[in-house]
Structure 1
Amino acid sequence: MTAPHSPLRGVLVAFAAYAVFAFSDASIKILHGSIPAYQVAFIGALFGTAVLPFIKGKDDSWLDMVRSSNRSLWLLRFVCGAVGAIASIITFTKLPMAEAFCLLFLLPSFVTILSVIFLKEDVRWQRWAAVIVGFLGVLVVLRPGFRELSVGHLAAAIGGLAAAISIVVLRKMGPAEKRLSLYGAALLGTIIVSGILMLSQMAMPTPSQWFFLASYGLLGAAGNVMLMTAARMAPANLVAPPQYSQMLWAIAFGYLIFDDTIDLPMAGGILLIICSGLLTLARERKRGTPLPTSVVSTDSQAPLATTKSLETAGAD
């Protein structure tokens, strides 16, 4: 087996990619809401365009970003890209990093539910059990009635749902749709929608804030490129599970930088949610469907990186 196709190296690259995503997300929190969420999403997406040369195949045209065989689904990804990006920024601004991640890790459960409703997938009891475990974990973390919930919790739910819809759309559109079109829908959605919304409230970033805005966008783009590389080295079912290492980074950042703490119930809830996600991934590996790989990135595009259509991207 040659080094470029070593599964072990692919898994290691995946771990590195998810670490890069975690640093990207930490850049949001370091801003402490000093820049409006719409503006952060807009600037981050502009920096995120750095990944486009790696997405574009040699036979693709840049106009393929706005072309589609199914305009309604393309527009749905357009909207979900913007909603997911803005919601994730609000989530990391308002919540401790570990809590933000554990709520966004409900993504696999949302995908399961939406796949049943819209794709008519046959979901057996194992995947439903994983969904139930995930929502039980959320109840343990949130403890409704015992602690105050905030807009950050709502944003996490919206962000996870938007990302799940994007993945279901990806499955529905299938491999016939060009990856540049799929990627362009969410990226353009974030740029255009957040660009319009930020006109009512803008702030001039300081040099240090520009650094973290660039870190957010460029690291997110780099994470996507690294996941594409990992997907060429190892099967998607091996590339997906390392996403949960983001929780370790979140706990470390929270403790060392943001003075966050995790109590025993929250730790138990996090474990339940992670178990739920891993159970879902274990079931998905036999189905040949795009896996819900990374729950958060600059443009919520990471699931594209491990689809079969991208595993040969480097050969285009």
Structure 2
Amino acid sequence: MRNVHVLALLAYAAFSITDASVKATAGHLSIFETAFLVNVFAAASLLLTRHPEERWRDFWRTSHPLAVHGRAVCGLIASLCGVYAFTNIPLAHAYALIFLAPLFVTIMSAVFLKEQVGIWRWSAVTVGFLGVLLVVKPGYQPFEMGHLAAIGVGLGTGIAIILLRRIGGGVKTTSVLGTLIAYLLVFNGAVVLISGAAVPSWKEYTILALAGISYGLGQWAFVMAARYGNANQIAPMHYSQLAWAILFGALIFGEYPDGIALLGIGVIGCAGLFTLVRERIRMS
């Protein structure tokens, strides 16, 4: 199966199922226990992403340890922020703020990688942040910690992308994924052991298993898409998650964004897509 767009859409649909499943467990389990259990179920699925020439037992061997571990730390923080955001604010609002990531990448590319950023990409950043104001509507509804957590996911994702750009393609897939999973399991497991854990019901175990397996499937599809395609083919498919967020939010959780929020979501999506188009032009 080498249709890059189908693989990317499958990956982001699977990630959306993971996020909706996490939201469905809100109220009983801590964010640390939720993240730990999801990654326990995901770890076995991630074995499918191993390249034939790589070995999982060597995941810790890398020529860029600081960047790989830095990315794992960003992934850990983004994961915890994501669990908090998805369990406390509407899915569509969370995704809209998380999709600030391409705009954060533009800013950090100029500051840290010294890339030339033209007026069009800076304009997209400005428009994207205006879209956030439409979604959050400061002064008309409370700005909750869940909104801040969703922005944290976008920022953490942006930093992780910058780190991957800095090290290029010289790092094994097993190192990138293995280190991330190790951080997620060890840190969240340690917090759960220290603070204590609630006993999930069988229903919660089932939902978290679905979340973990979906996450593993998504990682497999994403790796396959990256193997046969390039970033410019994959990145636009990311915005399909906005549609999944609105659909799952309405059908499962009874969340219906108002007209202004939908406008803001559209503005953020268009700004992000425009940024990707300008990036493609720059690379060509």
Which range, TM-score by smaller chain?
Answer: over 0.9
Q: Deviations over 1:144-171 (max 9, x none)?
A: 1221111101111111111111111111
Secondary structure of 1:257's counterpart equals helix
Which residue of 2 is the match for residue 225 of structure 1? 220
Report the alpha carbon displacement of residue 288 of structure 1 after superposing the two structures with TM.
5.2
Deviates more, 1:128-137 or 1:223-232: 223-232
2:5 is the counterpart of 1:11: yes
Structure 1: which 5+ residue stretches go unaligned?
290-316
Deviations 1:284-304 (A, max 9, x none): 224559xxxxxxxxxxxxxxx
1:54 CA drift (Å)? 3.1
State whether residues 82 and 194 of structure 1, in contact with CA within 8 Å, keep that contact through their aligned partners in structure 2. no
Q: Which 10-residue stretch deviates more, 218-227 or 58-67?
A: 58-67
Q: Could you list the runs of 4 or more consecutive aligned residues of structure 1 that deviate by over 6 angstroms after TM superposition? A: none
Deviation at 1:136, TM superposition (A): 0.5
What CA distance in whole angstroms lies between the structure 1 residues aligned with 2:187 and 2:147? Answer: 22
Percent identity between the two aligned chains: 39
Distance 1:238 1:71, change over 3 A: closer
Aligned-pair distance for 1:275?
0.5
Q: CA RMSD in A?
A: 1.8
Shift of residue 16 of structure 1?
A: 2.5
Whichever residue aligns with residue 261 of structure 1, its letter is Y
Q: Shift of residue 233 of structure 1? A: 4.6
TM-score, L = length of structure 2? 0.93
TM-score between the two structures when normalised by the length of structure 1: 0.84
- Partner residue, 2:146: 152
- Structure 1 residue aligned with 2:35: 41
Q: Structure 1, residues 44-99: CA drift from partner, whole Å, max 9, x if none?
A: 11222234433333332334321222322222122112111111010100011111
Give the number of equivalent residue pairs: 283
Task: Decide which of 256, 259, 272 is 2:254's aligned counterpart.
Answer: 259
Q: For the Cα contact (< 8 Å) 1:81–1:187, is it kept in 2?
A: no
Distance in 2, matches of 1:263 and 1:141, equals: 9
Matched, 1:269 2:268: no
Q: Given that residues 97 and 254 in structure 1 are in contact (C-alpha distance below 8 angstroms), is that contact kept between their aligned partners in structure 2?
A: yes
Quote the Cα distance in structure 2 between the aligned partners of 1:179 and 1:28: 26
SS at match of 1:32: coil
> SS at 2:241's partner residue?
helix
1:193 matches 2:187:
yes
Instruction: In structure 2, list runs of 5 or more residues that go unmatched.
Output: none
**Are the structure 2 counterparts of residues 93 and 203 from structure 1 closer, same or farther at C-alpha, using a change threshold of 3 Å?**
same
Task: Name the CA shift for 1:231/1:82 in 2 (closer, same or farther; >3 Å).
Answer: closer
Give me the whole-angstrom Cα distance separating, in 1, the residues matched to 2:181 and 2:54.
17
Instruction: Report the Cα distance in structure 1 between the residues aligned to 2:175 and 2:227, rounded to whole angstroms.
Output: 21
Cα deviation, residue 235, structure 1: 4.0
